[in-house]
A and B are shown apart, each in its own frame.
Chain A
Amino acid sequence: MKIAVCIKRTPDSESRFKIAASGAAIDETGLKFDMDDFAGYAVEAALQLNEKAGGGETVVYAVGPDNVQETLRKAMSMGADRAVQLKADSVPADGIAIAKALAAELKDGGFDLILFGKHAFDSSAGVVGTATAELLGIPCVTAASELTIENGTGRARRELEGAAEILTFPLPAAITIDEGVARPRYPSLKGIMAAKKKPLESKPAQLGPSRITVQKMELPPERPAGRIIGEGSAAVPELVKLLQNEAKVL
């Protein structure tokens, strides 16, 4: 199969964040950036589907400045065949503007499947994948937790509140990947060496106008310091009293 995977570079999610002096961005000093977790699941899912099919091509795409090339190389070190950077000075806050750039690039690509992470850690919005599918006019499963392709038909599972949908769809299709589909492999040394020689194309992103601007970023209010009320089951009566009289949740 010919599979496209659209990935994003995001800061390490375990970081402690500080707000930049502008008040409208995070301070990137000292932060480690890597492929977004959900994008990693999507790359792994693509590689496994093509391994199972016994061939095909996996092409990775990223929108952004030149630092996304490192993320694209990582995907190629995992096993993707080639990469395309859709170059932009920054990644807009308006997911529809990004979807337009991806749809313009992917529409004549002849892909059987286009994969995305279900959302990226930084923007936590989950707009780009499903919107790109809509612009391309192809079937889309948002946040699939299982995915198989057999004889040109896809099957996916999607979690709902207290239930799950089982879905089928024809190809070509777009899928945004939830955790559970595939744990990403670590690039091997051989993979890392091979990735250096794989083609990475860079071209301008045809972004739509961004109608969303970040006015402010702030850290959420800190929780008051935790309190240990006692040890062992002897502390249970005190806990119940606090839940009743102080927290008023009983």
Chain B
Amino acid sequence: MANILVFAETRNGEIRKIAFEAVTAARQLADATGGGEVHAVLAGASGIGAKASQLGTYGADVVLVSESADFAGYARESLAATVADRARTGGYRAVVIGFSAQGRDLAPRVAARIDAPLASDVTDISATADSITVKHPAYANKVIMTLVITGSPVVVSIRPSAFTATESAKTARTETLAASPAQGATVTVTEVKEGAKGRPDLGEAAIIVSGGRGLKAAENFKLVEDLADAFGNAAVGATRAVTDDGWRPHSDQIGQTGRQVSPQLYVALGISGAIQHLAGMRTSRTIVAINKDKEAPIFKVADYGIVGDVLEILPVLTAAIKGARQGH
């Protein structure tokens, strides 16, 4: 029986979805190793402790509330010190962190500080008495690795959306956790630029509508946006060719060197399906492709393909999706 420590990510005073997924993964790991406790670090500005019960809902036994003015933003060095100090003294079997933008930075810091092995971006975790086994998609999702990690504690970062946040009713106890100060020189956040409001992040969206060179011009992305609106809460992505040409920001790029996504539905518009792009979206559950070239590689992975002019088909599809969602 062993306890598991979780980093519960927050931003702008809200607990993020990845935190509930991390608590779920930790709960499963604790139960698999004889029913230890799950302790979640909840760090934020004054008042974040009021959200602690949300973590209990997903199976946290104890919420370690660390309130500090520094933690209003992502204070990487002091957060790493706070999580590492707790991990070092708390006798944990594992530390679970999300493989999000924050977690990609935090997990290596924590692992280095406590001299623990780190398995990144895992999609499955199991445990025996003396080792933890994880699955990790590597080679840009082209190879699945099974890794065995020895030692204790170990640090594991979990791929967003790989673990479905599952309720496991607990009334979490809360404890206060003192923030550990950063030591030495640090990075300073001078500004956080918020992206377009009203659209979910590519990593969190259930539906992604994505455009390639076949759209012919930057302004035609308006048609892609319209389709995303028709679906309701869809995110908009793009190919590398499109972000390289500056039609869309670099952060919208889906592919091997951009974001790797697995939504329920991926709609590829005017995308030929270069290997670089397929590596970023081939694990999507359902793929729709519209492209003028019937030999385009995207049709090899598309569950539903339509051959034709994307600019002509898009308005028709947008109207049809709107109609279907209104029950016509």
Binding site for B on A (CB under 8 A): 11, 13-14, 17, 19, 26, 37-38, 93-96, 99, 121-132, 134-135, 137-143, 145, 158-170, 173, 179-180, 208, 210-220, 223-233, 235-237, 239-240, 242-244, 247, 249-250
* Nearest CB in chain B: distance from A191 CB, A: 24
**Chain A contacts for B140, CB-based, 8 A:** 13, 121, 124
**Chain A contacts for B194, CB-based, 8 A:** 162-163
Q: Is the CB of A125 within 8 A of B101?
A: no
Q: Is the CB of A247 within 8 A of B303?
A: yes
Distance of A145 Cα from B139 Cα, bound (Å): 21
Q: Is the CB of A26 within 8 A of B109?
A: no
Distance of A170 Cα from B182 Cα, bound (Å): 15
Q: Which 3 A-B pairs have the closest CB atoms?
A: A134-B112, A130-B108, A161-B201
Interface of B is mostly: mixed
Tell me if B288 counts as interface (CB < 8 A to partner A): yes
Most chain A Cβ neighbours within 10 Å, of B76, B104, B133, B312: B104
Q: Is the CB of A226 within 8 A of B121?
A: no
Whose C-beta in chain B lies nearest to the C-beta of A159? B251
**Chain B contacts for A225, CB-based, 8 A:** 300
Q: Is the CB of A140 within 8 A of B187?
A: yes
**Chain A contacts for B78, CB-based, 8 A:** none
* Nearest CB in chain B: distance from A130 CB, A: 4
* Nearest CB in chain B: distance from A165 CB, A: 6
- Write 22 A-B pairs (CB below 8 A) sorted by A numbering: A17-B139, A96-B112, A124-B139, A125-B118, A127-B111, A131-B109, A137-B183, A142-B108, A159-B250, A163-B193, A164-B195, A164-B251, A167-B190, A169-B188, A179-B250, A217-B144, A217-B146, A226-B298, A226-B301, A232-B309, A233-B308, A243-B288
Distance of A180 Cα from B154 Cα, bound (Å): 33
Whose C-beta in chain A lies nearest to the C-beta of B107? A127
Binding site for A on B (CB under 8 A): 11, 74, 76-77, 80, 100-102, 104-105, 107-109, 111-113, 115-121, 133, 136-151, 154, 183-196, 199-204, 206-207, 250-251, 253, 256-258, 264-265, 275-276, 279, 282-283, 285-289, 294, 298-309, 312-313, 316-317, 320-321, 323-325
